[in-house]
Amino acid sequence: MKLKFLGSGTSQGVPVIACHCEVCTSLNPKDKRFRSSALVTTDSGKKILIDCGPDFRMQMLDNREEQVDAVLLTHEHNDHVIGLDDLRPLIFKNRKNIDLYCQKRVGDEVRARFPYAFSDVKYPGAPSFDLHEIDDAFSIFGTEIIPVEVMHSKIKILGFKFKKLAYITDASFISDQEKGKLQDLDYLILNCIRREELHPAHFILPQALELFEELKPKKFYLTHISHHLGLHDELEQELPENVHLAYDGLELQF
């Protein structure tokens, strides 16, 4: 299987509009970050999208990706769902609804934001989705997916585990019970918004590194990164062995 980072940035993306800091003005492509999203390719070649934010169209075009067979949604914030309308070309190409897997609360929000995708009588050109409520482990395309419940400030959201890879974004707390799902990983992907100043809804660098020491994955990748974390190449030199910054277009095999 493969996981490709379509985006590794926080809700504002990097560069941030009207910001002239050294990160936002960097010429290094690894310092330019679309909103966080990933595309998993199963062993059978099926494409599973994790989150569909406002940059989805350009993410697919930039990566020359042409298919999405199902979508997993971590939560309902706009930077993770507002690009769902841009799935229309793939829905039309495949001539069938796209399956969305999410918590009930998230599904209710998707229905509210995209009511035209669920109406009994759709206008020509509207997208069409089939919502599937998830709580426990489930399988699609022969691939087992284990939800990992984490806290994003005061709301419960999901990360996802495939084989020995776990993808977690927007977390600020992980319970001991859910950490049990994160043992013996080859890859742990975790959000890290900035270096020092505490954030109410996201891990910062010291907290992320503490989890790395506790959970001991073979490889640890930071994502959902803001311009406050610093320049990619400089920080990479400072990080412990086997800890890395994700960047847009990076692909992991597992």
The pLDDT assigned to 122 comes to 86
In total, the chain counts a number of residues equal to 254
Instruction: Flag residues of the chain having pLDDT under 50.
Output: none
Q: Phi and psi for 209 in degrees, rounded to 5?
A: -65, -30
CB-CB contact of 38 with 50 (8 Å)? yes
Mean pLDDT of the chain: 97
Three-class DSSP category at 176: helix
Whether the pTM exceeds 0.75: the reply is: yes
CB within 8 A of 6, min separation 6: which ones? 34, 37, 38, 39, 49, 55, 56, 59, 60, 63, 65, 248
pLDDT tens-digit series, residues 172-215: 999 999 999 999 999 999 999 999 999 999 999 999 999 999 99
The residue behind tokens 């759709």 is: 122
For residue 56, what pLDDT is reported?
A: 98
How far does CA 247 lie from the centroid of its chain?
12
SS3 108: helix
Query: Percentage of the chain surpassing pLDDT 70?
Result: 100
Q: How far apart are the C-alpha atoms of 177 and 195, rounded to whole Å?
A: 27
